[in-house]
Structure formats: structure tokens, C-alpha cells
Structure 1
Amino acid sequence: MKTILVTGATSGIGKSTAELLAKQGNRIIICGRRSEVLESLKTELSQFTEIFSLKFDVRNLEELEKAINSLPAKWKDIDVLINNAGNAHGLDPLSAGKTDDWDSMIDGNVKGLLYVSKMIIPGMKERNSGHIVNISSVAARQTYANGVVYCATKKAVDVISEGMRIELTEFGIKVTNIQPGAVETDFSVVRFKGDQERAATVYAGYEPLKAEDIADSIAYCINAPKHVCISDMTIYPTAQAEPRTIYRK
């Protein structure tokens, strides 16, 4: 049994991952911004294992530190950190981009990941064990027009993952960087500011990945034998050839 902390656990990949790992008997710390959703998920998953919930926004360092420091002693030794929280806002060229959107993506996808990791890594180093899973994107592999800042934040996740691995391997800490392709979650709804119709077109004409597919991949990585570290994993739906190319019926 592992103690696993999942950020962004209230929806999408994070929720599916928390559900799967709970059913596998791990103790899960679910983190998110919405109290009512956290409590509902805690009730749902408590039938499988022990669940602890923390409410915080990864972009808010003070709030994050207070929440993680509030963990009871039995929950403080975190074996696996899954840095899933992140966002995409807008699909505009740089010249027309909204700086609030840029700040949200940089603060959530990059600084938030760093903030959480900084809180958890010291304990892993003391115990000479641990596993960090960072959720990047195939957008890190190929920049596309109108998504430059989002792509940049996910490229940063790749670089941070590599740096973590260089710094932490001597402490017996594994680092896995996962790059999902097109996954049908509320990702596009958020990107298009709640425009459900526009978001639906992103997944039209082919079968995209599901959040459960990425959860399966994460579970595979963290359940690998102790001497095995999956450093990087790229996952596309069958219809997607590269970040910008999807074959639709």
C-alpha cells in the first residue's frame, strides 16, 4: 500500500487516477479547489480505502503550504506525488493573447507543479524513496499556432521532469513524465471558456483517449518493480499521428 497525493483530483485525469489507485488499495490524498466535489469524491472512494482531502489552489503558495502542512502525521510520508493539476486557457495568437490567460497557465502548469513538488520532495529524500509523476502533454513535443504559451508551459514540465530525475535519482526517487495526446475531458471546455459546442468539435470524428486510459498508464508506471523507472511516456489515440494531426471520419 502506498500513500499517494493527487493534485487536480476533482475532475478529468486526476479524478480517474484517484479512483483507480484507490481501488488498488492505496491510501489517497485528493487535492482540488472545490470543497463540495472533494467531499463527494472522498465519500465515493472511502468504500475502497483510506482517503484524505485537501482543498487548495496550486497557484496559491501560501494556501498550498498551509494545506499540506496540515496533514496528520500518518499521512505525511507521501510515497507518490502525481502532479496533475493544470489548465489551458484561450486559443489565440500571441499578438491577441490575454495576459490573464497566460498568467493562469504559467502559474498553474509550471509554478504550481514546482510549489507542490518543493513541499513533498524533502520527505522523499529523507526516506530515500518516492515517485513523482508529472503530467505534461504532446504539446511539449510540437508547438502549434495559437497555443504557444500552453505549449511552452508543457515543455517546461518536460524540462522540470528531466531536472528532477537528475537531482533525485541518487536518492532512490523515480520521476515519470507523461505526455497525453487528445483526451476527452473538460480540458477544451475550460480552454474555450465554457463553450460546450466549440469544445465538442475537438473530439468529433474520431475516438479520443479517455481519462481512464491515462490513469491506467500512471498505475502501470507506479506499480513497476522497484528497479524499473518509466522515465517518459507518450500516449496518443490511434487516430492521432502527432500533436497537430488527427484523422477524422
Structure 2
Amino acid sequence: MTTALITGATSGIGRAMAVALSEAGYDVYAMGRNEAALKRLQGEHPRIVPVAMDVTDRDGLEALLADLVVDVLINNAGMMPPLGNFADMKVADIDTTLEVNLSAAILLTRLVVPQMRERRSGHIVFTGSSAAHAAFPNVAVYSATKAAIAGFAAALRADLSPYGIRVTELVPGRVETQLYSAILDTEARAAMYAGNVAVQPEDVAKMVIALLALPASADVTRLDIMPTRPTTQSGSK
């Protein structure tokens, strides 16, 4: 495998994976909305090709995949809606969360898997969340989208494994990223990551490199990566 397409690559886990894959010899197509950040990333890592695009842009995705051969697809783009009780959640935030975290990943996967099936090879990775597998308050819709990704990944694996295509669900706990930057102030984020015990994006990227390096006959179906010292069962805080 030589070419990887990663969504949500401008920061956090996506950026770390793009860098790690580039350094491992992959030609990386890094997708995100922040064109300036992608260009800086390319300047630091010439094997990275910036793709300034919103993951919900269906026409743009179809045009991109018309001629692009993808060996590794990493559906990493995601967003966290404002924290709070579901009864108070805005319908617009529900719609956006479903579109970004779930619908876009399914559509992009649908655009890529026919070529993988034809070649009888490929690896699809989804960045899920411990919120899909353990319940806690104020993130009901976010949890729903990640649980749906978990179910989709499992069923997709059943569809594609006869063709030698691997599917992996990443299940990180508390990772120090920009996921909460739009909904928590600086003080709250500092408290969240106090003690330097959160998983780092680079930690997740190293795990991805390791699972991609496995023999084609082996598939890591679900990869949980939690802080060594979590205070909750989910590893979320």
C-alpha cells in the first residue's frame, strides 16, 4: 500500500497520522477545511498533498475520488457539539453532528470501496471513540454517531473481508486534541488535561502505523487506546 487519504488532517489525531504515514513512506492526501494549516503541513512534509475540502462536500469528494487510487482510507474527521443535556440540544447541532461524524464517513467510504474491492486489497480505518462503548452524560448525539460508526465498521468488515480488505475501528479515550476547543474555554481545557495523563495524538498515530504494518492476513478489528491513568471506565477523563 502506498497512498493514504486522511480526513480531518489539519490538527490533532488526523495531523499526527498524516505526519506518521508520510514519514513511513506513504503518499498522503490530507483533507481538511483549513487550507493554510494544510499548506504548512505540506511545507514540513513534502510527501503530503493538501486537500482543502469540507468532508460534507459530496460533489467535491466525488471529483477527488474519480482518479485517485486509495490504498488506506482513514475516516478521522469529526466534531463535538456543545456539551449539555440532550433535552436542551439545538436541532441544528444534531443535524451537523450526524452529517459530519456519520453520513460523511459513510459516503466517503462508499466512494472508495469499489476500487479496493476490484484490487482485492485495502485498509479502512475509522476514528471512533470510547463514548461509543460507555455511557456518560452531556454527549448523547456524539455518542450515537460514534456507536453508529462502530456498528458500520463491523458490518463493513463482514462485507469486505472476502476481498482481502481490512477494516479497523480506533477507540481512543481522552486524547489531548482541539476537539473541545470550540465549546470549552482555555481554563476548562487546561483542567481537562491536567497532570499530563491524556493520550497524545502521536500515540494514536504510532498505533496506526503498527496495525498497517501487520501481514495482510491479520486485521485488527478494534483498537482501544486509553490513558494509563483514567478516572472513568471509559478513559474519558
TM normalised by structure 1 equals 0.90
Post-superposition offset of 1:197 = 1.8
Structure 1: tracts of 5 or more residues without a match = none
Q: Deviations over 1:175-194 (max 9, x none)?
A: 000100000011121343xx
Aligned to 2:8: 8
Post-superposition offset of 1:86 = 0.5
Q: In 1, distance between residues paired with 2:101 and 2:147?
A: 10
Structure 2 counterpart of 1:57, which letter?
D
Q: In 2, distance between residues paired with 1:136 and 1:226?
A: 23
Q: In 2, distance between residues paired with 1:171 and 1:245?
A: 36
Post-superposition offset of 1:77 = 1.8
1:120–1:229: structure 2 CA closer, same or farther, 3 Å change rule? Answer: same
Q: Is the 8 A contact 1:4 1:28 kept in 2?
A: yes
Match of 1:85, SS state, is coil
Identity across aligned pairs (percent)?
34
Post-superposition offset of 1:64 = 2.3
Q: Is the 8 A contact 1:55 1:67 kept in 2?
A: no
Length, aligned pairs only? 236
Deviating more after overlay: 206-215 vs 60-69:
60-69
1:20–1:245: structure 2 CA closer, same or farther, 3 Å change rule? Answer: closer
Q: Deviations over 1:116-138 (max 9, x none)?
A: 11111111011000000011000
Aligned to 1:242: 233
Structure 1 counterpart of 2:209, which letter?
A
Aligned to 2:211: 221
Q: Deviations over 1:101-156 (max 9, x none)?
A: 22221111101101111111111011000000011000011121111111101001
Match of 2:62, SS state, is helix
TM normalised by structure 2 equals 0.94
Structure 2: tracts of 5 or more residues without a match = none
Aligned to 2:51: 54
Residue correspondence of structure 1 range 40-79 to structure 2 within 5 A? 40-46=40-46, 50-69=47-66, 71=67, 76-79=68-71
1:54–1:244: structure 2 CA closer, same or farther, 3 Å change rule? Answer: closer
Q: In 2, distance between residues paired with 1:67 and 1:26?
A: 18
CA RMSD of aligned residues (A): 1.5
Aligned to 2:120: 128
Q: Is the 8 A contact 1:140 1:152 kept in 2?
A: yes
Q: In 2, distance between residues paired with 1:231 and 1:15?
A: 22
Residue correspondence of structure 1 range 9-158 to structure 2 within 5 A? 9-46=9-46, 50-69=47-66, 71=67, 76-158=68-150
Q: In 1, distance between residues paired with 2:91 and 2:14?
A: 27
Aligned to 1:199: 189
Q: Is the 8 A contact 2:227 2:235 kept in 1?
A: no
Q: In 1, distance between residues paired with 2:9 and 2:192?
A: 23
Regions of 4+ moved over 3 Å: none
Post-superposition offset of 1:31 = 0.7
Match of 2:220 among 230, 234, 238: 230
Post-superposition offset of 1:87 = 0.8
